[in-house]
Structure 1
Amino acid sequence: MTTTFDSLACKDTLVEGGFSDRQAAVLAHAIWDLVTNRLATKDDLLALEQRIEAKFDLRLAQLKVELLMWIISLTVVQTTILGAMLKLLR
């Protein structure tokens, strides 16, 4: 999505508001630079959101695998301890 900004209309509005012609031109140029080069567009924000969601989904999958590994490990340890205790009781 491209951002449209009418710097001439902005300059005219500033002149009508009391700025000198030169002040209005410089300020309109500064605003144009800000709008076109430094502000994020809706498309920029959407792309950022998609990248964050992708990283979140990947990290969530990694955490699920890690949790499953812990559960399996603890189950094995618990079973081993239970088996050793049953041997001692016989």
Structure 2
Amino acid sequence: MIQKIGLIAAIILPLWNIPLIVRIIKRRSSEDISMFWALGVWICLLLIAPSGFTSKDIVWRTYNVVNFVFFSAVTAIVLLYRKAK
């Protein structure tokens, strides 16, 4: 039961990135999102990824895959919608 709850949470938690992506696209701007924050989080996820991708723990592995995919999208959108100053 705990494993199932953890697995569901591992899938749902990264989905909270979707409203952020949608908001940036609607406004056509990511000026309110720190580029350093987005890249910093993405680099940390990249460094954690090998541990998550090779883990035998299904919850940790699932979370890493789903979160890496969705936060990679956030980072790409933040960089794409960053207006040159």
Structure of larger gyration radius? 1
RCO higher in structure (CA 8 A, sep ≥6): 2
TM over 0.5, shorter chain:
no
TM-score (norm 2): 0.29
TM-score (norm 1): 0.27
